[in-house]
Amino acid sequence: MMNDLLELIMTRRTIGKVKDDPVPREDIEKILEAGNWAPSHFNTQPWKYFVITGNGRKRLGEAYAKIALLEKGEGLTDAETKALYEKSMNKAFRAPLVIAVACLPHEEEYVVEAEEFAAVAASIQNMLLAAHALGYGAIWRTGAPSYHPVMKELFGLGAKDRLMGLVYIGRPDMVRESRRIPVEQKTEWWS
Ligand SMILES: Cc1cc2nc3c(=O)[nH]c(=O)nc-3n(C[C@H](O)[C@H](O)[C@H](O)COP(=O)(O)O)c2cc1C
């Protein structure tokens, strides 16, 4: 069991190209459950998940498109505007399942905000590993649109809340390798 987990940790790769076959609800629930078991200081559990599938992806696509038009839409011809809209809308359709993960930091004075974000990052990693264990490919995406006020509005987030990632999940349609700086170079041993 433990060796399987280590194997999963090391073989998980960021998979940006997936097939469009829908992800069954029971698999989605397993992925969410894994996310929900992440640690958090004071057990605040500051995560919120938005499960976006099927036509639900249009709402996300419209937000991508609105942001693109606000940021790059000025002076475009009608045809260029339409092309930009479609390209941006299509971003939401890169996978059959998108799980948007937000951090809603607790506001008690003993809670350290950075730790709330750390907990949600742990939750996302749990989900990436669960997806991998179930044979899915996944990518944790952020980028400028994910920090845009339009995205905040889409997910109804408050001033202190933050969209931590859009996790795109589906059956893998690519293979990918990755590299790491050897861990020796990242480690000091004190003994
Ligand atoms: C906070 C965060 C945001 C990321 N955002 C993106 C992204 O927007 N686009 C992307 O292609 N990869 C994104 N990634 C994935 C990284 O590029 C990837 O983890 C890294 O290249 C290592 O590859 P591996 O996950 O396959 O080992 C993100 C990863 C993290 C942790």
- Does residue 3 carry a pLDDT above 80? no
How far CA 60 is from CA of 39, 64, 116, 160, in Å, comes to 28, 6, 25, 21
Taking residues 134-158, report their average pLDDT.
97
Pocket lining for ligand 1, CB < 6 angstroms: 13-14, 16, 139-143, 165, 176, 178
In the reported structure, the alpha carbon of residue 191 is separated from the centroid of ligand 1 by a whole-number distance in angstroms of 34
Kindly tell me if the per-residue pLDDT of 52 is higher than 90: yes
Q: Is the pLDDT of residue 54 over 70?
A: yes
Instruction: Give the model's pLDDT for residue 63.
Output: 98
Q: What does the pLDDT read at residue 2?
A: 64
Query: In order of start, what are the domains of the chain with their CATH numbers?
Result: 13-57+93-175 (3.40.109.10)
Mutate to test the pocket of ligand 1, among 141, 174, 181 (most ligand atoms within 8 A of CB): 141
Atom of ligand 1 nearest to the CA of 128: 25
Q: Which helix (H) or strand (E) holds 26?
A: helix 25-36
Q: For a pLDDT cut of 70, what percent of the chain falls above it?
A: 99
> Are the C-beta atoms of residues 119 and 37 closer than 8 Å to each other?
no
C-alpha separations of 54 from 23, 24, 32, 63 in Å: 10, 12, 18, 16
Asked if 76 and 84 touch (Cβ cutoff 8 Å), the reply is yes
* Confidence band of 23 (pLDDT split at 50, 70, 90): very high
Predicted pLDDT of residue 58: 98
Mutate which of 10, 14, 176, 178 to test ligand 1's pocket (most atoms within 8 Å of Cβ)? Answer: 14
What band does 99 get if pLDDT is binned at 50, 70 and 90?
A: very high
Looking at residue 1, its pLDDT comes to 61
Q: What is the mean pLDDT of the chain?
A: 97
Q: Which residues contact 23 (CB under 8 A, 6 or more apart)?
A: 53, 96, 97, 136, 169, 170
Q: pTM for this one?
A: 0.97
Which atom, in ligand 1's list, is nearest to the CA of 180?
27
The predicted-structure confidence for 103-127, as pLDDT tens digits, reads as follows 999 999 999 999 999 999 999 999 9
> Please, which residues have CB within 8 angstroms of residue 48's CB and are 6 or more apart in sequence?
101, 102, 103, 104
Atom of ligand 1 nearest to the CA of 124: 31
Ligand 1 atom closest to the CA of 146, numbered from 1: 8
Ligand 1 centre distance from Cα of residue 88 (Å): 20
ipTM (interface predicted TM): 0.98
